[in-house]
Chain A
Amino acid sequence: QLQLQESGPGLVKPSETLSLTCTVSGGSISDTRYYWGWIRQPPGKGLEWIGNIYYSGSTYYNPSLKSRVIISIDTSNNHFSLKLSSVTAADTAVYYCARQGSGYYYWGQGTLVTVSS
């Protein structure tokens, strides 16, 4: 059974960089059938797609976040990562990682990241 687990700081200061890692177990991140993605959800609001990455390193980003986002992949350690720079309070959200095939079937449990000084 595939499992995804987000990890990283729960509190980030304004203007700093948010960094999260998604560790994949029970399957290979190098599986050519799938993309790996990040999605976020501000408290009480809807889902926002952040971006996807393929095992080869090809990335696709939400145009509204593209200037601040970097998603990378480490196939040796079976994990992928998110960096979001110059954060503000508007970036406070639950951040999910997920596997994209036809839709996102497997999700992590999500991790709340709060942007506050």
Chain B
Amino acid sequence: EIVLTQSPATLSLSPGERATLSCGASQSVISGYLAWYQQKPGLAPRLLIYDISTRATGIPDRFRGSGSGTDFTLTISRLEPEDFAVYYCQHYGTSSYTFGQGTKLEIK
């Protein structure tokens, strides 16, 4: 089972700034099956990125996923007010799915 560790736990930034969120895997994600989600209070998570770097339908291009092996990154190029939320990475495969513990992106 792959364990995902996200950092930082909390990230404080201002609108217009660039956000960089990290997700580290306990073993190599050879399949490339790594996703990112955004969750706002009281709502279900929203899929942002799948297969490491493919944006889901309707996701603006300021969201970018990258990485390989055990190190993955979600970059938000210019923060909009609606981007402040909790972000989770997820590994998915045929038989095993795990989530990271989340990064809270808060307004500075």
Contacts and interface: CB of A to CB of B under 8 A. Distances in A.
A100 interface: yes
A105 B38 CA distance: 11
Interface residues of A, number: 21
B35 interface: yes
Q: Is the interface of B mostly helix, strand, loop or mixed?
A: loop
A96 interface: yes
Contacts of B56: 103, 105
A102 B54 contact: yes
A52 B1 CA distance: 15
B44 A110 contact: yes
Interface residues of B, number: 26
B33 A102 contact: yes
A46 B102 contact: yes
Interface stretch (B17-25, B66-74, B91-99): B91-99
B95 A107 contact: no
Contacts of B98: 49
